[in-house]
Amino acid sequence: MTTSPADPRSAQRTAVQAAKQRKQQARSVEVVECPGGFPLSQKPNKRQREPASVSDTPNEKRPPKSKSLLDWNTTVQQVRSYGATAFVGKQKRNFEDEQYKLLTGRHRKKHQVPLPIVRGIQKKAAARQVRELREAKEAGIVLPTVSTKRKDKKGSSASDVHGPAPSIGFMSKGVLRLKKKPL
């Protein structure tokens, strides 16, 4: 049985096929990845490895690097140092510490705060925390409870493994030695 263009089933099939093709064309989306934001810190989180060579022969010589190509590492460092003029606070201190480390090869000595001042800061922080908890309680805000109990050790102690140890004498070659005097 041949289908003629006037056949309604044939027209419906071609319409369905055309709709499928339009859907397939509409679904094709090109994905573009944007570069990350401005780097806040150059501190490496993990040790970076060199990428493995993809050449077939290990003794194959690579062409020398051309001076006309940009060195991306130095370019990124220059852009970052230019943008670092806008850093403030902790971000600025971290950048200065990194520059100091690059120049001298060692970390900058941290400023030490006198102990009475540290105690005062801790006392005010504790008072502030108590005040915030009180205000939250008055406002009807439910906060998680902070337990002051210490958690039990997960590891086993020596007495759990080897049994109770004697409080007198000493062990020598697996024998408990005691003094001859009565206790």
Flag whether pLDDT at 76 surpasses 60: yes
Residues, the chain: 183
**Closest to 177 in 3D by CA, of 156, 103, 169, 36:** 169
DSSP secondary structure of 91-144: HHHHHHHHHHHHHHSSPPPPPPPPHHHHHHHHHHHHHHHHHHHHHHHHHT---P
pLDDT for 125 equals: 97
Q: Which residue's structure tokens are 């590492």?
A: 73
* Torsion angle in degrees (nearest 10) through CA of 124, 125, 127, 128: 120
Q: Which residue's structure tokens are 């001859």?
A: 180
Domain ranges of the chain: 72-104, 112-141
pLDDT for 138 equals: 94
Flag whether pLDDT at 131 surpasses 80: yes
Tell me the torsion sign for CA atoms 47, 53, 59, 60.
Answer: negative
pLDDT for 115 equals: 96
Instruction: Give tens-digit pLDDT for 42-62.
Output: 665 555 556 555 555 555 566
- Distance CA(130)–CA(132), nearest Å, equals 5
Instruction: Give tens-digit pLDDT for 83-109.
Output: 888 899 999 999 999 999 999 999 999
* Torsion angle in degrees (nearest 10) through CA of 131, 137, 142, 147: 50
SS3 42: coil
Of residues 38 and 149, the one with the higher pLDDT is 149
User: Span 145-149, mean pLDDT?
Assistant: 75
